[in-house]
């Protein structure tokens, strides 16, 4: 274990080369080098640039400047602290913490944990089952392939799950959540949120708007729960998937609305019909095909449904 003042508080290295520029002159001499096999670190003008290549991983820390820190092929722990940092974990199950500042975090392959902390951050988990937490600020979180968990935190956040069965939680603020491919669970939380299930896919999503005036958009056999507030449910129909029936579990006719979007392949004069069943559900039909089941305390009528043509806007 090495204790290096001004570089790392503690650094555990195995089979590595370490190069330290302690006087910040950009030159490395014999007294500033620790060599053993494959790691290089350099500090110039207060910004920190660290790259690694050891399979056993690394522990890296930035400072108050704008740091560029890159992990190894092993499991890394990287903390940027203050400043607008760029952290890249590389291969391996990494832990990246942006700290204060507008940070960019890339997890890379494997199962990573990324935390943005304060200000407006961009987090990209990469492949693998990743956990992303935006923290304070208006953050952008991207899950990529894998079973990911994305939590926006406070602020107006943008969460995109991409491929895999993902869980997206907006937290406080007016958030936008897009599940992508897979069976996803989207929770808007407090605020006026936009929740979008993947259009024209065979898998089903669960969308829960939470408190606030939310927009919930379904493109398949999704389950929709608006929560408290004046919510808009957008049902995207697909002519090639008549078996998809979306379900709204808490429609309130006094303040909620339903939009049914017709694509260009369907009839120019679509026919909407509503039937009631004994369980208290209303069943909405489009051209004699069931497309939507609605649970409502009051009777659903055609006045509660708006028919629109073209791609939906959300």
Band of residue 88 on the pLDDT scale cut at 50, 70, 90: very high
CA distances in angstroms from 296 to 102, 249, 283, 284, 293, listed in the order given: 44, 7, 11, 13, 10
Closest by CA position to 285, among listed 276, 25, 175, 180: 276
Closest residue by Cα to residue 182 from 145, 140, 215, 127: 145
Average pLDDT, the chain: 82
The reported pTM is: 0.81
CB 95 within 8 A of CB 78: yes
- Return d(Cα 200, Cα 223) in angstroms, integer: 15
Q: What percent of the chain has a predicted confidence (pLDDT) above 70?
A: 77
> Which comes out higher in pLDDT, residue 287 or 87?
87
Give the pLDDT score at 267: 61
pLDDT of 216 reads 98
pLDDT-based confidence at 70, cuts 50/70/90?
Answer: very high
Tens-digit pLDDT profile for residues 127-140:
999 999 999 999 99
* Range scoring the smallest mean pLDDT among 110-119, 213-222, 303-312: 303-312
Q: Is residue 60 within 8 Å of residue 79, measured between CB atoms?
A: yes
φ, ψ of residue 303 in degrees (nearest 5): -70, -20
Residue-level pLDDT at 42? 40
* pLDDT for residue 23 is more than 60: no
The residues spanned by each domain of the chain are 1-173, 216-314
d(CA 205, CA 218): 8
Q: Strands 140-142 and 272-276: what pairing?
A: unpaired
The pLDDT confidence band at residue 200, using thresholds 50, 70 and 90, is low
Question: For residue 280, how many other CB atoms are within 10 A of its CB?
Answer: 11
Partners of residue 106 on adjacent β-strands: 88, 124
């Amino acid at each position: 274990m090495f204790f290096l003042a001004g570089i790392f508080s503690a650094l555990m290295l195995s089979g590595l080369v370490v190069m330290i520029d302690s006087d910040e002159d950009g030159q490395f001499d014999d007294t500033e080098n620790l060599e053993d096999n494959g790691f290089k670190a350099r500090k110039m003008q207060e910004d920190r640039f660290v790259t690694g290549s050891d399979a056993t991983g690394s522990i890296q820390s930035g400072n108050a400047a704008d740091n560029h820190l890159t992990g190894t092929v092993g499991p890394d722990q990287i903390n940027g602290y203050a400043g607008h940092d760029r952290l890249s974990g590389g291969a391996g199950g990494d832990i990246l913490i942006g700290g204060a500042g507008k940070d960019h975090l890339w997890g890379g392959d494997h199962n990573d944990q990324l935390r943005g902390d304060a200000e407006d951050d961009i987090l990209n988990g990469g492949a693998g089952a990743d956990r992303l937490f935006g923290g304070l600020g208006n953050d952008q979180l991207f899950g990529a392939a894998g079973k990911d968990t994305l939590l926006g935190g406070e602020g107006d956040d943008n969460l995109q799950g991409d491929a895999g069965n993902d869980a997206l939680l907006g937290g406080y603020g007016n958030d936008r959540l897009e599940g992508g491919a897979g069976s996803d669970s989207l929770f808007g939380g407090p605020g006026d949120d936009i929740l979008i299930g993947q259009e024209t896919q065979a898998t089903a999503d669960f969308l829960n708007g939470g408190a606030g005036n939310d927009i919930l958009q379904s493109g398949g056999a999704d389950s929709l729960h608006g929560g408290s507030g004046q919510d808009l449910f957008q049902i995207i129909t697909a002519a090639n998937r008549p078996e998809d029936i979306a379900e709204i579990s808490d429609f309130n006719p006094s303040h909620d609305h339903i939009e049914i979007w017709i694509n260009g392949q369907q009839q120019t004069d679509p026919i909407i019909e509503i039937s009631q069943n004994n369980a208290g559900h209303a069943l909405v039909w489009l051209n004699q095909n069931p497309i939507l089941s609605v649970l409502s305390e009051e009777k659903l009528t055609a006045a509660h449904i708006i028919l629109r043509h073209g791609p939906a806007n959300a």
